[in-house]
């Protein structure tokens, strides 16, 4: 049943007729990591990839602590699959707690370096590894709904999953569901699980090209009056250089709304004391339109339940300032794969929400969320300038209340099963 890629886009011809061990909704790093682990155990895995990507993804930087997991799934950087361009980064240069830059050198970490990758190519390489491991990757598949069903002769309940492929509805059946659909949290929301947004952060990205070579290998982070900046040099063909520049601001602010347009982005960039001059000095010119992506902190009210669990950003999505996105996705995807295999092996995939393994997974996710919030509050609180700015007031003077899925402020009522 677990087929290899097909000419129609890695979807097995009989995907809708199969009874899968696991259906994974979302083929990003978390979903692909879970698929690789489960397929390695011989599980029948259907990996649903909605596709239709906008042609870019943010999150090219991989911090040194994540490299062990990257090696686990993709090998050494020197042996990455063809098409996955990367280079080693040397550290971070930040202008945050004061007006002068501070440098963190990756030389003093166990790995000794970080990575900068093409995120679209990185995700595709993981999907290819999942297919090579035995998972069936169904491209262009939009998850619509799921319901628990059971046969009279079988006490084990399964999931009946409705998927739209090429405008046609397909029905697939599986013993377990993994939600790896990112911030959309498609499975959790279909099951009525609420979620909380902790803020309104949005990322506005633009590419800059230079005809001059740029050997800078530092990730640059700079606080500004109305948000903060991120920039990294990307892999570029030829003698020139390419750089990604991202402004992070609250989506409801006038400054952020202005940054969504090219001329507004340029005006906001003038507030940068270091990044703007760097671009000018090295001959960078803006290329293409401003692109945007949500960057807010978000957490499901419940991380798992009877016959399902959420991994990666579907469970909890982090502010890019944490530099944990890819690491968290691979780590929780791997955890999910091992956990679900154990549940299936023990015949407890549908044993109810009080299963001890699922409870421990939920508790681990809750601890990670608490640690993340404490760390994020510390770093935002360490920026002492522009305290009159609404962006910084929201993060330093008690913060915005968490925002429930219906848009209203809420208290933290996270459920531990």
Do 380 and 232 have their domain in common?
no
Confidence at residue 2, expressed as pLDDT on a 0 to 100 scale: 36
Do 89 and 236 have their domain in common?
yes
Do 369 and 277 have their domain in common?
no
Confidence at residue 412, expressed as pLDDT on a 0 to 100 scale: 34
Do 250 and 265 have their domain in common?
yes
Confidence at residue 10, expressed as pLDDT on a 0 to 100 scale: 42
Give the span between the Cα atoms of 327 and 366, in whole angstroms: 17
Confidence at residue 16, expressed as pLDDT on a 0 to 100 scale: 53
Confidence at residue 416, expressed as pLDDT on a 0 to 100 scale: 28
Confidence at residue 1, expressed as pLDDT on a 0 to 100 scale: 33
Ranges of the chain whose pLDDT falls below 50? 1-13, 353-354, 401, 404, 406-417
| Strand-pair category, 91-95 with 195-197 | unpaired
Task: From 256, 272, 294, give the residue that closes a domain.
Answer: 294
| Strand-pair category, 308-310 with 168-179 | parallel
Ramachandran class of 166: left when φ > 0, alpha when ψ lies in -120 to 50, beta otherwise: left
The neighbour count for residue 282, using CB atoms within 10 Å, is: 17
pTM above threshold 0.85: yes
| Strand-pair category, 402-404 with 195-197 | antiparallel
pLDDT tens by residue, 398-411:
555 455 454 444 33
What's the domain range around 99?
61-117+200-294
Backbone angles phi, psi at 241, to 5 degrees: -140, 155
Count of the separate structural domains present in the chain? 2
What is the residue-wise DSSP string for 364-396?
Answer: HHHHHHHHHHHHHHHHHHT--S-TTSHHHHHHH
What CATH number has the domain bearing residue 336?
Answer: 3.50.50.60
Q: How does DSSP classify residue 40?
A: H
Confidence at residue 115, expressed as pLDDT on a 0 to 100 scale: 92
Confidence at residue 53, expressed as pLDDT on a 0 to 100 scale: 55
Confidence at residue 56, expressed as pLDDT on a 0 to 100 scale: 61
Backbone angles phi, psi at 289, to 5 degrees: -85, 165
Confidence at residue 189, expressed as pLDDT on a 0 to 100 scale: 95
Do 139 and 51 have their domain in common?
yes
């Amino acid at each position: 049943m677990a087929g290899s890629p097909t000419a129609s886009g890695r979807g097995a011809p009989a995907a809708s007729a199969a009874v899968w061990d696991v259906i994974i909704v979302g083929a990003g790093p978390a979903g692909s990591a879970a698929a690789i682990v489960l397929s390695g155990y011989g599980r029948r895995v259907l990996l649903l990839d909605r596709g239709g990507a906008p042609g870019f993804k943010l999150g090219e930087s991989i911090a040194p602590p994540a490299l062990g997991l990257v090696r686990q799934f993709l090998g050494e950087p020197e042996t990455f699959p063809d098409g996955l361009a990367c280079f080693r980064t040397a550290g971070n240069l930040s202008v945050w707690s004061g007006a002068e830059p501070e440098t963190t050198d990756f030389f003093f970490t166990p790995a000794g370096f970080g990575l900068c990758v093409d995120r679209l190519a990185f995700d595709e390489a993981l999907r290819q590894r999942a297919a090579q491991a035995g998972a069936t990757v169904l491209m262009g598949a939009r998850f619509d709904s799921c319901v628990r069903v059971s046969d009279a002769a079988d006490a084990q309940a399964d999931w009946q999953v409705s998927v739209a492929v090429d405008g046609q509805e397909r029905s697939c059946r599986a013993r377990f569901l993994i939600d790896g659909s990112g911030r959309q949290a498609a499975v959790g929301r279909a099951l009525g699980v609420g979620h909380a947004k902790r803020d309104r952060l949005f990322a506005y990205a633009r590419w800059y090209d230079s005809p001059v070579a740029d050997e800078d290998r530092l990730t640059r982070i700079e606080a500004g009056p109305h948000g903060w900046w991120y920039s990294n040099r990307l892999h570029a063909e030829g003698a020139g250089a390419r750089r990604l520049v991202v402004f992070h601001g609250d989506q409801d602010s006038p400054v952020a709304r202005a940054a969504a347009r090219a001329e507004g982005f340029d005006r906001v960039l003038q507030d940068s004391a270091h990044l703007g001059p760097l671009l000018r000095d090295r001959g960078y010119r803006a290329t293409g339109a401003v692109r945007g992506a949500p960057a807010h902190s978000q957490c499901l009210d419940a991380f798992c339940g009877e016959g399902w669990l959420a991994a990666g950003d579907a469970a909890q999505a982090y502010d890019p300032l944490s530099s944990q996105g890819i690491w968290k996705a691979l780590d929780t995807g791997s955890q999910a794969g091992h956990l679900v295999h154990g549940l299936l092996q023990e015949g407890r995939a549908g044993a109810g929400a009080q299963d001890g393994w699922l409870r421990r997974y939920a508790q681990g996710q809750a601890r990670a969320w608490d640690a993340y919030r404490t760390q994020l509050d510390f770093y935002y609180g360490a920026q002492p300038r522009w305290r009159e700015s609404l962006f910084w007031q929201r993060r330093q003077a008690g913060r915005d209340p968490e925002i429930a899925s219906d848009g209203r402020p809420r208290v933290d009522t996270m459920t531990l099963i």
